[in-house]
């Protein structure tokens, strides 16, 4: 069903410009007098994320008002303050603490079985293929194999936790949106934070050392293992970029991976 179909079905009033992403169509709306966001997905990955949002039941995540098929009607959160702007504007530590707090809400223990989510190992098939084509990926693939063979604290993961996917509710604080939905080691969910908000910022001298130490303290993680996950994940991102023909982002992601490996 289309966005227009759900507007009629759920008696929604448009309240802003439509947003189209690679996997979803979004529209700010008003529902029963409340600001909300309608999201209609176009991919299986986004549907898994929808299922995870429903299961999270507004604990650490935006509230789901309605859900059906490919559609979610979500609590509309505030885009300001912008965590990416905060980090790039000299308040990197504050942004990281907020992100770690949001992750804690996401990762809390909760009753009931989670939805059927893919294992993290499946994502790393792209890295395995990349290391066959180029030796530049070999160190990261070796690291990934070691981590995946001995996972710790396995649970449902967001899969795309970064500065743009944590927004603020005036009543409930900082909450996650737009998960991919995976099952895997909790530490993995923090790796993407250290590759963001931009590749240039991630490669700022001293930044990876400082922020990895801060995340390890805030989230109760082993710093060396966190850096190992950063090395593996950044190389996986590079592999994805190459699959999409994006050579410069791939080069930057490989640089982050190499830096993470050098710090362990």
pLDDT digits (tens, 9 = 90+) for 130-169: 999 999 999 999 999 999 999 999 999 999 999 999 999 9
Confidence of residue 14 (pLDDT cuts 50, 70, 90): very high
Per the CB < 8 A criterion, the answer to whether 70 and 102 are in contact is no
Cα→Cα distances 211→98, 117, 149, Å: 13, 29, 26
pTM beyond 0.85: the answer is yes
- Mention every residue, 6+ apart, whose C-beta is less than 8 A from residue 180: 45, 48, 49, 157, 158, 159, 160
Check residue 112 and give its pLDDT: 87
Check residue 248 and give its pLDDT: 98
Q: Cis before residue 167, ω within 30 degrees of 0?
A: no
* Mean pLDDT (the chain, rounded): 97
Residue 208: closest CA among 164, 254, 257, 248: 257
| Bridge partners, 196 (sequence order) | none
Q: Is 160 an annotated catalytic residue?
A: yes
* 80 pLDDT above the threshold of 90: no
Per the CB < 8 A criterion, the answer to whether 239 and 137 are in contact is yes
User: Mean pLDDT throughout 172-192?
Assistant: 98
User: Mean pLDDT throughout 48-70?
Assistant: 96
Check residue 137 and give its pLDDT: 98
User: Mean pLDDT throughout 88-109?
Assistant: 97
Find the catalytic residue in 25, 160, 178, 189. 160
pLDDT digits (tens, 9 = 90+) for 206-229: 999 999 999 999 999 999 999 999
The domains of the chain, with CATH numbers, are 3-75 (3.30.200.20), 83-263 (3.90.1200.10)
Check residue 79 and give its pLDDT: 86
Confidence of residue 108 (pLDDT cuts 50, 70, 90): very high
Per the CB < 8 A criterion, the answer to whether 152 and 185 are in contact is yes
User: Mean pLDDT throughout 75-85?
Assistant: 94
User: Mean pLDDT throughout 8-15?
Assistant: 97
User: 21-25, 100-104, 123-127, 185-189 — which is least confidently predicted?
Assistant: 21-25
Confidence of residue 1 (pLDDT cuts 50, 70, 90): confident
User: Mean pLDDT throughout 113-138?
Assistant: 97
Residue 235 tokens read as 């190389």
């Amino acid at each position: 069903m289309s966005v227009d179909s759900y507007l009629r079905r759920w008696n929604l009033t448009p309240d802003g410009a439509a947003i189209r992403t690679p996997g979803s169509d979004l529209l700010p709306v008003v529902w029963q007098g409340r600001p909300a966001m309608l999201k209609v997905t176009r991919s299986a990955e986004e549907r898994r994320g929808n299922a995870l949002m429903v299961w999270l039941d507004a604990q650490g995540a935006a509230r789901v008002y309605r859900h059906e098929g490919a559609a979610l009607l979500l609590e509309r959160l505030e885009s300001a303050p912008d965590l990416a702007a905060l980090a790039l504007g000299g308040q990197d530590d504050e942004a990281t603490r907020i992100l770690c707090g949001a992750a804690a809400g996401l990762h809390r223990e909760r009753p009931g079985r989670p939805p059927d989510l893919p294992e993290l190992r499946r994502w790393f098939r792209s890295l395995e293929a990349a290391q066959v084509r180029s030796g530049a990926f070999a160190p990261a693939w070796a690291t990934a194999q070691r981590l995946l063979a001995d996972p710790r604290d396995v649970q449902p993961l967001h899969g795309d936790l970064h500065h743009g996917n944590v927004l603020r509710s005036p009543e409930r604080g900082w909450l996650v949106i737009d998960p991919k939905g995976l099952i895997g080691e909790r530490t993995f969910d923090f790796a993407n934070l250290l590759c963001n908000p931009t590749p240039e910022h991630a490669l700022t001298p001293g930044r990876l050392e400082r922020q990895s130490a801060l995340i390890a303290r805030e989230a109760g993680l082993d710093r060396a293992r966190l850096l190992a996950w950063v090395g593996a994940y950044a190389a996986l991102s590079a592999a994805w970029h190459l699959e999409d023909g994006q050579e410069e982002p791939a080069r930057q992601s490989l640089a982050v991976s190499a830096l993470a490996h050098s710090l362990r």
